[in-house]
Amino acid sequence: MEVYGSSGVSLREFGCEQSLLSRPDGSASFIQGDTSVLAGVYGPAEVKVSKEIYDRATLEVLMQPKVGLPSVRERSQEQCVRETCEASLLLSLHPRSSLTLILQVLHDDGSLLSCSLNAACMALMDAGLPMSCLFCGVTCAIDTEGRIITDPTAAQEKESRALMTFAIDSKEHRVLMSATKGSFSVNELQQCIAVSQSASEKIFQFYRDSVRRRYSKTL
């Protein structure tokens, strides 16, 4: 388990553990403050005929909440995570096969979607699937006084006027996915994107360090 302290753009302490499950082809748990998501990837495996795509792999994302059954909110988050993964994975290398990504929420203390995205990316890396770039998720909240809070807790989310989650790619640091709540001005949106981009560098540095540390042990 590695933990990264935060400075500059304030993210909560975050950490990750890879390959912690034995059955999936890749797994990771990602922790941001008290928010924690466990991800597992199966595949490339055989695909159901009804879901088969002739020129690329079918990616399925399942999001399991901590209590109860997945609802409409989880469905829309699944869609966001799936389409982000589809953009970064080289799915055409595995035509007519299936990839399944399961995200189990262990604890939700705000910024759940960004934590899920980070866990998903780490799990895909652990599974060794070919990707064109990495991605990470950053959540920004704008409070009633107009200040931008990155990686908010559940309490901060509740008090905020607007909430935005972005997925940023590692190649050009551009926005892959955006999901927003509340109303905001164009200027605030641009500011939040800029803040997320600088925060993403920190997360990508963490990705790089953790992979380096992991492979320096095995080699």
Partner 1 sequence: MRYKVKCVCDSFNPRKCLSFPLFLHTVRTAEPLEYHRSYLKENCRHDGRELSEFRTTTLNIGSISTADGSALVKLGNTTVICGIKAELANPTVEAPGKGYIVPNVDLPPLCSSRFRPGPPGEQAQAASQFIADVIESSEVIQTEDLCIDRGKLCWVLYCDLMCLDYDGNLLDACIIALLAALKNTKLPEVTINTETCSPEVNLEKRRELHVHKHPVGASFCIFDNSILIVDPMSEEESLCTAHLTVVTDEEERLCAVHKPGGTSLSGEKLQECITRAATRQREIQKLIDKVINSVKAAQ
Site for partner 1 in 132-171 (CB under 8 A): 162, 164, 167, 169
| Burial zone of 50 (CB within 10 Å; 0-12 exposed, 13-18 middle, 19+ buried) | exposed
**For the range 173-179, what are the long-range contacts, defined as Cβ-Cβ under 8 Å and sequence gap of 24 or more?**
173/197, 173/200, 173/201, 176/84, 176/87, 176/88, 176/135, 177/80, 177/83, 177/84, 177/117, 177/137, 179/80, 179/113
Nearer to partner 1, 31 or 122 (CB): 122
Q: Spell out, one character per residue from 63 to 102, where the chain touches partner 1: x when CB under 8 A holds, - when not.
A: ---------xx-xx-xxxxxxxxxx---------------
| Interface residue with partner 1, options 179, 198, 201, 214 (CB under 8 A) | 179
Pairing of the two strands 58-64 and 175-181: unpaired
| Interface residue with partner 1, options 53, 154, 175, 211 (CB under 8 A) | 175
Upper half-sphere CA count for residue 148 (Cβ side, 13 Å): 22
Nearer to partner 1, 104 or 178 (CB): 178
Find the shortest distance in angstroms from Cβ 21 to partner 1. 25
Find the shortest distance in angstroms from Cβ 185 to partner 1. 6
Distance CA 42, CA 24 (A): 5
Query: Contact between 172 and partner 1 (CB under 8 A)?
Result: yes
* Binding interface with partner 1 (CB under 8 A): 72-73, 75-76, 78-87, 162, 164, 167, 169, 172, 174-186, 189-190, 193
